[in-house]
């Protein structure tokens, strides 16, 4: 962790030293939105958005400043039924789920359930503070909020910080909250106590998790005229996430192909090379769905010229068409900065749409300029340029949104900038949010029949509504970097971003010529194998980085290649499961990559496990991040990894079918071809055929694996795979339900329909047990075959 800046340290010390200057309540008024408080030093409003969702605004100024949130969608209505009562000590606001008490002496807000059990309480003495300060030569106000935190609490979220090697649990530690190169910030946090918080402030901030002998935490923003935060009551993490995404925007569905394998490299340099990658995947019958064109396809033209060098790419449309003929989709990297000497730069400059923020392009030694993504007119022009020059002209299917921090040598340059919305100091963290907003909204308008997929190097709160997957940036090709990815992925998803990915194998080696590691060495093969296994159980499955690492590469020996193909096949067999879960992300605000606290919040043993997570409701995923089979200590480290099996359920080893009791830590076998996977009892997993691309074969023959030991259910979802007609109700679902006591499987009647829907299908039912219904391959001997035509079916097993 980097040392915190002195200005932040000084401000925190200042606010924590004050114990007599808290604002007292003079009067309270019930309003249409909740309650308004006049304080002896400022004002405070509590907005009741739901029975379990509250916004708090506080300022020491005379009135609450006007603010258009970039994160929260416009509020259509507030809670109608609630009460506001006073006693000598508190103002008590009661909804059907909460009691919200405001201490008259300190204005501290306490959130309790209806049994008066405290869920969260602001700190007594110093809770909400606004102070004069100067940052980057700018006179502004700094603001902070402090909350009580019991010693047994665990705190998750706060975004993705790719270089952070500390625990997954933020209890007792600090975190910079500033979007810069290789560090992110999403001001969303969920607690094991069953609540969530969103701080609606966009300035550089800092989270302090170890205040007052680890009984308090504080969130400090270096600029802001008011404290503005949202409180969500679950108590389940799924309900908190539902409240949060309804508030900030639902994640739209991705096309089905987006859940297959992405093949990317820094970089393919010609049309011929791109097509050769296509040919090698298809002629070797290796599953893949996307090939990616990274940067400098424009060279030697300046960045932002939006051209593909005609000498290297003589016919880009024909190239994309050839990919489509092979059922491969195409993604291209387009940046938000512009070099001088291009018509696009000149057009943006003339309109006043360029910002003062620049990138020192060390590759070609130019100073390039970012457009003002906060300006709606600039977003429109930026889109028009890229649409007409690249996206729609050639038929690209996806957009790689690189360099969207923006990346500057001196962060103060961003703070001093004048964006359309205001001073950069107040919009330090929102460039990627606004940039992806422009791309998403205009794609939906101009390419309405094709679902959009965006891959963004940064994300902020609310960015899920822009169809943006967060990737963890330019991490190194090391086991240490790989190990850091797992907790960062988990916390990014806890922060409300449902889709996350990393460069499988890492992006760059700082110990190799030109940053390219030797992928043919045993160490690099082991690293890539383990990372690929993890990638197969990430929301988005994507190879990228320096050096040839496609699955057909000669860098892989036959053993390595066979392991990689095994996990590639497994990913594709699980597409009915994964795609159905993706529909729940959109329809129910579900989270696919799940912190263990989503499922086992009341099991304290899971709070500090940084490298285990649930993938959907069934799989407990346990990546192997230690180098076991190559290097100097290869024969001394053993061939297992510790796996904690959460309590209150039983678990099956996916590879062997062996059953284990929960509530114990085991030494799980981890030979190089095995990433330990366990399946929760009661799970129902639909598995399709092995395919070379996501829509190659209809799902008319599904192996349905049932893991007995508890009741369970799973809803299968299907639609047209790549259109937005699902928003019009054109999709179909049916639910598998397992009654463990009765040993009965029910398949509900099908609900809904869409053009091209399968009307008849076969389910091969497999009751999993030791050595039966295990691993990647289709099970030869099944327990029951069911012919399904859309009507309800019940069978005994």
Q: Which positions are catalytic?
A: 402, 405, 474
Burial class (CB in 10 A: 0-12, 13-18, 19+), 713: middle
Kindly report whether the peptide bond that precedes residue 267 is cis, defined as omega within 30 degrees of 0. Answer: yes
Contacts of 416-419 spanning 24+ positions with Cβ under 8 A = 416/136, 416/137, 416/138, 416/356, 417/355, 417/356, 417/357, 418/355, 418/356, 419/355, 419/372, 419/374, 419/375
| Residues in a beta bridge with 142 | 131
As a whole number of angstroms, the distance between CA 355 and CA 369 comes to: 7
Whole-number Å distance between alpha carbons of 246 and 36: 25
Q: Rounded to whole angstroms, how far apart are CA atoms 194 and 130?
A: 28
Distance CA(269)–CA(231), nearest Å, equals 49
The pair of structure tokens assigned to 617 is 């409701």
- Helical ranges in 65-186 per DSSP H: none
Residue 313 has φ and ψ, to the nearest 5°, of -125, 80
> What's the CA gap between 313 and 310, in Å, rounded?
5
Tokens, residue 669: 């076998």
The total number of residues shown for the chain amounts to 797
Tokens 């490299």 sit at which residue? 265
Rounded to 5°, angle at Cα 165 from 159 and 167: 70
DSSP classification of residue 779: P
List the beta bridge partners of residue 113.
Answer: none
CB 503 within 8 A of CB 532: no
Q: Token pair 């003002």 is at which residue?
A: 372
Q: How far is CA 270 from the centre of its chain?
A: 32
Q: What is the DSSP string of 613-654?
A: EEETTTEEE----S--SSSTTTTTS-SEEEEEE-SSSEEEET
């Amino acid at each position: 962790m980097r040392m915190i800046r002195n200005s932040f340290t000084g401000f925190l010390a200042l606010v924590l030293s004050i114990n007599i200057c808290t604002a007292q309540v003079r009067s309270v008024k019930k309003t249409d939105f909740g309650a308004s408080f006049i304080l002896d030093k400022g004002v405070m409003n509590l907005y009741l958005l739901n029975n379990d969702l509250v916004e708090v605004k506080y300022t020491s100024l005379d009135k609450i400043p006007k603010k258009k949130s970039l994160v929260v969608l416009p509020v259509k209505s507030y809670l109608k039924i609630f009460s506001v009562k006073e006693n000598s000590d508190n103002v008590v606001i009661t909804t059907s789920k909460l009691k919200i008490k405001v201490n008259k002496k300190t204005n501290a807000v306490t959130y309790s359930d209806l049994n008066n059990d405290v869920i969260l309480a602001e700190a007594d003495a110093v809770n909400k503070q606004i102070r004069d300060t100067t940052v980057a030569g700018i006179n502004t106000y700094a603001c902070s909020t402090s909350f009580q935190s019991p010693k047994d609490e665990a705190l998750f979220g706060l975004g993705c910080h790719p270089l952070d090697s500390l625990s997954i649990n933020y209890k007792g530690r600090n975190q910079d909250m500033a979007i810069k190169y290789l560090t992110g910030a999403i001001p969303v946090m969920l607690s094991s106590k069953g609540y969530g918080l969103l701080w609606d402030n966009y300035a550089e901030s800092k989270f302090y998790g170890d205040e007052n002998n680890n009984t308090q935490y504080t969130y400090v923003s270096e600029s802001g005229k008011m404290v503005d935060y949202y409180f969500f009551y679950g108590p389940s993490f799924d309900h908190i996430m539902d409240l949060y995404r309804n508030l900030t925007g639902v994640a739209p569905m991705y096309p089905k192909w987006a859940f297959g394998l992405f093949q990317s490299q820094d970089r393919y340099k010609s049309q011929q090379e791109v097509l050769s990658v296509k040919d090698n995947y298809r002629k070797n019958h290796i599953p893949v769905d996307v090939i990616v064109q990274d940067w400098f396809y424009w060279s030697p033209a300046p960045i932002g010229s939006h051209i593909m060098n005609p000498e290297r790419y003589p016919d880009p449309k024909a190239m994309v068409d050839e990919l489509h003929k092979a059922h491969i989709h195409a993604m291209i990297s387009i940046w938000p900065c512009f070099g001088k000497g291009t018509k696009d730069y000149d057009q943006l400059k003339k309109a006043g749409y360029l910002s003062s923020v620049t990138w020192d392009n060390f590759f070609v030694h130019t100073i390039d300029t970012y457009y003002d993504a906060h300006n709606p007119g600039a977003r429109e022009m930026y889109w028009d340029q890229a649409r007409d020059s690249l996206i729609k002209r050639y038929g690209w299917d996806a957009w790689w949104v690189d360099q969207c921090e923006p990346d500057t040598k001196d962060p103060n340059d961003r703070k001093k900038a004048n964006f359309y919305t205001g001073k950069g100091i107040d919009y330090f963290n929102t460039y990627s949010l606004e940039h992806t907003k422009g791309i998403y909204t205009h794609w939906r308008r101009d390419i309405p029949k094709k679902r959009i997929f965006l891959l963004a190097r940064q994300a902020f709160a609310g960015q899920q509504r822009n169809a943006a997957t967060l990737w963890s940036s330019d991490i190194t090709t090391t086991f240490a970097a790989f190990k850091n990815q797992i907790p960062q992925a988990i916390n990014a998803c806890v922060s409300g971003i449902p889709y996350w990915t990393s460069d499988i194998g890492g992006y760059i080696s700082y110990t190799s010529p030109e940053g390219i590691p030797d992928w043919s060495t045993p160490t690099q093969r082991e690293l890539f194998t383990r990372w690929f296994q993890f990638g197969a159980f990430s929301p988005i499955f994507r190879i990228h980085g320096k050096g040839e690492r496609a699955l057909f590469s000669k860098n892989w020996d036959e053993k390595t290649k066979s392991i990689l193909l095994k996990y590639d096949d497994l990913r594709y067999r699980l597409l009915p499961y994964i795609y159905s879960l993706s529909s729940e992300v959109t329809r129910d605000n579900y989270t696919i990559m799940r912190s263990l606290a989503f499922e086992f919040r009341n099991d304290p043993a899971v709070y500090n496990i940084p490298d285990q997570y649930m993938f959907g409701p069934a799989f407990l995923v346990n990546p192997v991040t230690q180098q076991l089979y190559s290097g100097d200590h290869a024969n001394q480290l053993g061939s297992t990894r510790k796996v904690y099996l959460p309590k209150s359920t039983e678990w099956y080893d996916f590879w062997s079918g062996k059953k284990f009791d929960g509530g114990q830590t085991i030494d799980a076998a981890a030979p190089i071809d095995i990433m330990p996977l366990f399946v929760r009892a009661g799970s129902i997993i639909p598995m399709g055929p092995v395919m070379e691309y996501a829509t190659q074969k209809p799902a008319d023959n599904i192996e349905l694996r049932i893991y007995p030991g508890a009741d369970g259910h799973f809803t299968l979802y299907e639609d047209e795979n790549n259109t937005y007609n699902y928003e019009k109700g054109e999709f179909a679902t049916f639910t598998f339900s397992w009654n463990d006591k009765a040993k009965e499987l029910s398949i509900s009647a099908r609900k809904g329909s869409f053009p091209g829907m399968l009307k008849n299908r076969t389910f091969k039912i497999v009751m999993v047990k030791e050595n039966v219904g295990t691993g990647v391959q289709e099970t030869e001997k099944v327990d029951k075959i069911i012919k399904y035509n859309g009507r309800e079916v019940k069978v005994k097993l």
